[in-house]
Amino acid sequence: MRSSFLRILVLALIISSLGVLSIYSSTYQKEGTPWQDIHMRQMLWILIGLICFFIMAHLNYRRLWDINYLIYGVAIFFLLLVFGLGIIRLGAQRWLKFAWFNFQPSEFAKLAVIIFLARYFSRKSADDISLLSGKFGIFRGIILPFIFVAVPMFLIIEQPDLGSGLMLLLVFVSLLYLTNVRLKYIIALMFIIMLPLPFFWHFLRDYQKQRLLVFLNPNIDPLGAGYTVIQSRIAIGSGGLLGKGWLSGTQSQLFFLPESHTDFIFATFSEQWGFLGSSLLLLMYYLIIRQGFIIAGRTQDSFGRLLAYGISLLLALQVFINIAMNMGLAPVVGLPLPLMSYGGSSVLSTFIALGILVNIDRTRSVF
Amino acid sequence: MERKHILRFLIILMFVALLAGLLNLDLLQGAKFRRLSDSNCIRLIAQSGARGNILDRHGQVIVDNKISYDVLILPQELNQLDRILSGVSRILGVETKELKDAFRSNYISSSIPVTVAGNIDLKKAVLLGEYKMEEPSIIIQPRPLRNYPYGALASHVIGYVNEIDRWRLTKLEDYGYKTKDIVGFGGVEEKYDYYLRQEEGGLSVEVNHRGKFMRVLGFEPPVNGKDVQLTLDLNIQKIAEDSLAARKGSIVLMDPQSGQVLALANYPNFNPAVFVSKRTRLISGLFNNPDAPLINRATSSSYPPASVFKLVVASAALELKKINLSTSFLCRGWTMIGARKFSCWDVHGAQDIVAAIAHSCDVFFYKTGLLTGAQNIHDYALKLGLGRSPGFELPYETAGFIPSPLWRKINKFQNWFDGDTANLSIGQGDCLVSPLQAAGMMAVFANGGYLPSPYIIKAVGGLDLSAKKRKLSRVDFKKSTFEIICRGLRAVVADARGTGNVLAGLGVKVAGKTGTAQVSRGSTHAWFVGFFPFDNPKYVICVLLENGGPGHAACVVARQVIEAMNKRNLI
């Protein structure tokens, strides 16, 4: 029990330290104060994240069950705020400006939705303490929770943040799969979602269409939408077996690679540390996620179990989509790499999620 | 299987897919992406070394290089470019538009610096160097250019340099030649291009995504070409060119003991500098001139040898014992061969071999030639180095031509008549010899029996090649043959009625043979081929004046050369 706490803490610390190193390497040559101390800010966020991690690790996660509607409500509130401000300012916006930092509600909304879903599917029958989800029909098993997911999803996609929105959908589908909801309902839901996809094409913004087309063939627009993917692939590939060495990555340090400290930090890292470093990083991510699955597997409490699965899945999907997008295997959707990419909200929400995970393992013996 | 296991399996699958992706990018395609990454941020700035100098036998420079400066700019964003170009134009005093046009027309790719101005002087280069502090994307590059301190002197020996042409490029691609390379054309520049050629070095610099200069990654110093030292003596060469004095023709001076060419002058000649300064009008003038100033007359053109060829007939007849010292023929000014009358240029009376050479009596040689036979004359001409390539180092040498009955039969399906033999005996007809071949033949009589293969390269890159180049092949005539012919050659000058008498009384004993070649159109070609000093021959001289009149004219030119050399104590 202690070991899962330590393992997750150590892994998360190593990964986020590598993140700071990569952020430093990709920004230290830029001029101007916001760039010069950006790695210090990230370290500060990691520090705050660690505090949150310890707090969440010691706060009984069952409290989340109680305040679950509140969390969901607050998340929706912030998303609406971003949405409203976006309409007022006539411009897309994903974050709220606070005193000295930008707050990105979608990062927390993902967590809130997972907590909500975990609670929804782990309600028990008052009569025989069996899980209600097994008896759910199509409405209560699929449609109702989908509505609860669809509201924040819609708000996030409208920001526009297609990546995070789809992430919610993916986590929702995989959580459905883990509960006792019948398979045919899930397939029906998927079918319903897939069916109007061609129709949705027209609702996508121009740049989103561009990105999808470019994903299929980056060379149709090598200096425009395809530029990032091409440069990112060059960055990763040019690392070779051992990499170019820290602070010697030409792609990221000479600014050929855009967003080299946020969404494309994996390319930055991979250029400098090569195949060996990158596969070790992948291994560490895998170990954290595996730890999550182990915790979920040995938790008796169905809320805790679903929550642990949800958090692990969220982490796994974000890591996968981000790295795949770095390698040009997935379309560019604007998703940060958890723990590594620069960004307070992402770091904070990831540490909170990991804290919850650890706490689930700590308190499972209570029952 | 439980759903959670399937899900876990899917997660593992995802990570395996990522690992496979990494494997593909890093290891399978790593080299390609590495190259792409380098070409993103590394710019190569080529820096050329200097082409090797060409020196005379005493190490004096005939051709060297002068430094000129080029201004190059690393391609980058447009508004920055405008600012830089206007700064450069202020310093150079050239309009910005001109520089912009140059930039546009010279732009190759974003990774290669663009030349916007060439050939600027040192002062402006220094000023620009200061401006470079502000705008590091300016590159000032020294570029050595061919420099010809003596202008057209020895131009045919040297050749010229120019941008490589398509034909040479296809031939030389495998040896590292590239488009736009400057290579030699004609002369030593072409034949020894591989040694004279400089190796390009360069600077590799790192730039950021805007093409802004970041730092120097490495520098490979360019390697200068090797110097080529010629056997040419600059003093003698100058004398030869001055004596030729704008008369069409050529002068060759050779050391008969080794075959070293000491001077090789041709007129019309050209100034190779016009190819460096790219003066198109002058260049096209050179190519269109009907007098063909680019032709090296001494090695690439051949002329009827006329009376000079009588030496071949004389040696053949003496060797084959058709005549001897006491044989004499009567010259009445003409003789009948078959039904045709062959005339001499004068009435000489009774002539023995020595007198016949001295007076260049045609009748004597008609008769001697008929005794000897055309095929024998042909064979002895070849022994004396005529009718075959002398194996000289300059490109495009001619082999000349000596006809023979057999050749006539095979190639023209015609019979050979005695009249043809008579014509051949006085070096007319189809017979053709280049001035260099004539000088080589004379060297055999000068050194008493060795045919030298002429050469002009003394050393390459400081390595002396004379020992390797010196090739003398024995011409196994009897000693008496050489003695008799040399007496004749001396008599040409010494005899009061000798055709080369104008060369007597110079303070140096000269021997030689004149020739007056009849041509189908225009005035005759004038020949003088000889050697001096007679007792200890140090120089073979061959003067040919194209359409220059009788052989006497060539003797006058030879006299000028020998007089000038004597005055400067070169003999």
Question: Using one digit for the tens of pLDDT, what is the confidence trace for B46-64?
Answer: 777 889 999 999 999 999 9
Whether B206 contacts chain A with CB within 8 A: yes
CB contact under 8 A, A320 and B15: yes
- Is B442 in contact with B511 (CB distance < 8 Å)? no
**Inter-chain touch A323–B18, beta carbons under 8 Å:** yes
Which amino acid appears at position B199 of this protein?
E
Domains of chain B, earliest start first: 44-230 (3.90.1310.10), 234-567 (3.40.710.10)
Q: Do B7 and A178 touch (CB under 8 A)?
A: yes
The C-alpha atoms of residue B256 and residue B472 are separated, in whole angstroms, by 10
Distance CA A92, CA B76 (A): 32
- d(Cα B499, Cα B529) in Å, to the nearest integer? 12
- Contact assessment for residue B240 and residue B263, using Cβ atoms and an 8 Å cutoff: yes
pLDDT at B100: 84
| pLDDT one-digit tens code per residue, A7-47 | 999 999 999 999 999 999 888 877 666 777 888 889 999 99
* Closest CA in chain A for residue B208: A254
- Contact criterion met (CB < 8 Å) for A234 and B19: no
Record: contact A316-B19, CB cut-off 8 A = no
What phi and psi values does residue B147 have, to the nearest 5 degrees? -125, 130
Taking contacts as CB-CB distances below 8 angstroms, the residues of chain A near B34 are 237-238, 240
CB B541 within 8 A of CB B561: yes
Distance CA B227, CA B61 (A): 10
Residue A73, pLDDT > 60, answer: yes
| Angle at which helices A227-238 and B30-41 cross, to 10° | 110
| Euclidean distance between the first and the last CA atom of chain A, given in angstroms as a whole number | 15
Closest chain A residue to B41 measured between Cα atoms? Answer: A250
Q: Please calculate the CA angle A147-A153-A155 and round it to the nearest 5 degrees.
A: 110
Distance CA B40, CA A44 (A): 34
- Domains of chain A, by residue range, sit at 2-366
The Cα B376–Cα B382 span in angstroms is 10
Contacts of A316 in chain B (CB under 8 A): 11, 14
- pTM for the full model? 0.65
- Chain A CB contacts of B21 under 8 Å are 323-324, 327, 329
Is the model more confident about A283 or about B78? A283
- Most distant CA pair in chain B, distance: 133
What is the average per-residue pLDDT within A172-192?
Answer: 82
Closest alpha carbon to B43 in B106, B110, B142, B104: B110
> CA–CA separation, A225 vs A212, rounded Å?
10
Q: Which of residues 213-232 of B touch A (CB under 8 A)?
A: 214
Helical axes B374-383 vs B362-372, angle rounded to 10°: 100
Angle at A155 between CA A150 and CA A161, to 5 degrees: 105
CB contact under 8 A, A254 and B40: yes
CB B75 within 8 A of CB B113: yes
Give the gap in angstroms from C-alpha A279 to the nearest C-alpha of chain B: 7
A285–B15 CB contact, under 8 Å: yes
Q: How far is B160 from chain A (nearest CA, A)?
A: 45
Residues B306 and B333 sit within 8 Å (Cβ to Cβ): no
* Contact list, A235 vs chain B (CB under 8 Å): 37
What is the nearest CA distance from A87 to chain B, expressed in angstroms?
A: 35
SS3 B136: coil
Asked whether B266 and B246 are in contact (CB, 8 A), the reply is: no
pLDDT given at position B454: 93
Cα angle B298, B51, B99 (rounded to 5 degrees) comes to: 115
Q: In this complex, do B25 and A236 lie within 8 Å of one another by their Cβ atoms?
A: yes
A251/chain B closest Cα distance in angstroms = 7
All residues of chain B having their beta carbon less than 8 Å from the beta carbon of residue A309 are 4, 7
Per DSSP, the three-state class of A321 is: helix
Judged against a pLDDT cut of 70, whether residue A89 lies above it is answered with no
pLDDT above 60: residue A367: no
**pLDDT given at position A127:** 66
Which pLDDT tens digit goes with each residue over A224-261?
A: 667 888 888 888 988 888 888 888 888 877 778 888 88
Query: For B308-337, b where at least 16 C-beta lie within 10 A, e where not — what string?
Result: bbbbbbbbbbbbeebbeeebbbebeeebeb
Q: Which two tokens stand for residue A365?
A: 């013996």
Question: Quick check: A347 and A109 in contact, CB under 8 A?
Answer: no
A226: closest CA of chain B, how far (Å): 15
Residue A184 has pLDDT above 90, yes or no: no
Q: Chain B contacts of A271, Cβ < 8 Å?
A: 37
How far CA B330 is from CA of B366, B367, B489, in Å, comes to: 11, 10, 20
Query: Considering only alpha carbons, which residue of chain A is nearest residue B3?
Result: A178
Cα–Cα dist B204/B280, whole Å: 34
The residue type found at B191 is: K
- Classify residue B223 as exposed, middle or buried by CB count within 10 Å of its CB (0-12, 13-18, 19+): middle
In this complex, do B15 and A297 lie within 8 Å of one another by their Cβ atoms?
no
A264 interfacial to chain B (CB closer than 8 Å) = no
Q: Taking CB atoms and an 8 Å limit, are B25 and A233 in contact across chains?
A: yes
Chain B CB contacts of A239 under 8 Å are 26, 30
The DSSP secondary structure of B480-513, one letter per residue, reads HHHHHHHHHHHHHHHSTT-TTGGGSSSSS--EEE
Q: Which member of B3, B21, B34 has the closest CB to residue A238? A: B34
Distance from CA of A238 to the nearest CA of B (A): 4
Which residues in chain B are contacts of A231 at CB distance < 8 A? Answer: 40
Chain A residue closest in CA terms to B21? A327
Q: CA-CA distance, B309 to A280, in Å (whole number)? A: 90
Is residue B1 within 8 angstroms of chain A, CB to CB? no
Give the nearest chain A residue to B212 (CA atoms): A254
Look up tokens 């029909």; give the residue.
A137
Strand partners, B343: B334
**Three-state secondary structure call for residue B280:** helix
Which residues 173-232 on chain A approach chain B with CB closer than 8 angstroms? 174, 177-178, 231
Q: Do A256 and B17 touch (CB under 8 A)?
A: no
Interchain CB contact of A256 with B (< 8 Å): yes
Q: Which of A238, A285, A293 sits opposite B36 (nearest CB)?
A: A238
Q: Are the Cβ atoms of A256 and B209 closer than 8 angstroms?
A: yes
Joined together, the tokens standing for residue B537 give 């021959």
Q: Is the pLDDT of residue A182 over 80?
A: no
pLDDT at res. A132: 67
Cis before A160? omega within 30: yes
Q: Which residues of B touch A296 (CB under 8 A)?
A: 4
Q: Which residues of B are less than 8 Å from A282 in CB distance? A: 15, 18-19, 22
Q: Which of A30, A180, A238 to mutate to test the interface with B (most CBs of B within 10 A)?
A: A238
Select from A236, A260, A273, A298 the residue whose CB has the most chain B CBs within 10 Å, as the one to mutate to test that interface. Answer: A236
| Beta strand B54-55 pairing with B42-47 | unpaired
Cβ of A289 within 8 Å of Cβ of B11? The answer is yes
Strands B54-55 and B228-230: parallel
Interface contact flag, A174 B7, Cβ < 8 Å: yes
Calpha distance A250→A254 (Å, rounded): 5
Question: B109: Cβ–Cβ under 8 A, 6 or more apart, which residues?
Answer: B75
Beta strand B261-267 with B249-254 is antiparallel
- Tell the residue number behind the tokens 């190819």, with chain if given: B275
pLDDT tens, position by position, for chain B (571 residues)? Answer: 578 888 889 999 999 999 999 998 888 888 888 888 887 777 777 777 889 999 999 999 999 998 888 888 877 766 778 888 888 888 888 888 888 888 888 777 666 778 888 778 888 888 888 888 787 778 888 888 899 999 899 999 999 999 898 998 898 888 888 887 889 998 999 999 999 998 887 777 777 776 677 777 778 888 889 999 999 999 999 999 999 988 999 999 999 999 999 999 998 999 999 988 877 888 889 999 988 999 999 999 999 999 999 999 999 999 999 999 999 999 999 999 988 999 998 899 999 999 999 999 999 999 999 999 999 999 999 999 999 998 888 888 999 999 999 999 999 899 999 999 999 999 998 899 999 999 999 999 999 899 999 999 999 988 988 888 888 899 999 999 999 999 999 999 999 999 999 999 888 999 999 999 999 888 999 999 999 999 999 999 999 999 999 999 999 999 999 999 999 988 8
Helix (H, G, I), strand (E, B) or coil at B205: strand
CB proximity list for B221: less than 8 A, separation 6 or greater: B49, B201
CB-CB under 8 Å, B3 with A316: no
Q: Is the previous residue joined to B395 through a cis bond, with omega within 30 degrees of 0? A: no
pLDDT at res. B78: 67
Rounded distance between C-alpha atoms, residue B50 and residue B448, angstroms: 44
Contacts of B215 in chain A (CB under 8 A): none
Rounded CA-CA distance B412/B416 in Å is: 10
For residues A70-96, average pLDDT: 79
B298 touches B436 (CB < 8 A): yes
The verdict on whether omega for the bond into residue B268 sits within 30 degrees of 0, i.e. cis, is yes
Cross-chain residue pair B26–A240, CB shorter than 8 Å: yes
Q: CB-based contact (8 Å) between B20 and chain A?
A: no
**Interface contact A332, partner B, CB < 8 A:** no
As a whole number of angstroms, the distance between CA B543 and CA B254 comes to 12
Query: What is the rounded CA–CA span in Å between residue A288 and residue A281?
Result: 11
Condensed to tens digits (0 to 9), the pLDDT of residues B328-367 reads 999 999 999 988 999 998 899 999 999 999 999 999 999 9
Residue B426's pLDDT is what? 93
Share of chain A above pLDDT 70, in %: 88
DSSP B53: P
One-letter amino acid of A278: S
Question: Model confidence at A133, in pLDDT bands (50, 70, 90)?
Answer: low
Q: Which residue has the tokens 């395609």?
A: B29
Q: Does B14 touch chain A (CB under 8 A)?
A: yes
pLDDT in tens, A102-112: 788 888 999 99
- A237 and B33 within 8 Å at the Cβ level: the answer is yes
* Alpha-carbon span B143 to B49, nearest angstrom: 8
Which among B289, B361, B293 has a CA at the least distance from the CA of B332? Answer: B361
Q: How far apart are CA A166 and CA B422, in angstroms?
A: 107
Q: What is the mean pLDDT of chain A?
A: 84
Pairing state between β B457-460 and B228-230:
antiparallel
Distance from CA of A323 to the nearest CA of B (A): 7
Query: In angstroms, rounded to a whole number, what is the distance separating the alpha carbons of residues B177 and A276?
Result: 41
Backbone angles phi, psi at B338, to 5 degrees: 60, -130
Q: Which helix (H) or strand (E) holds B150?
A: none
Provide, rounded to the nearest whole percent, the portion of chain B with pLDDT above 90: 56
Taking the CA of residue A237 and the nearest CA in chain B, the distance in Å comes to: 4
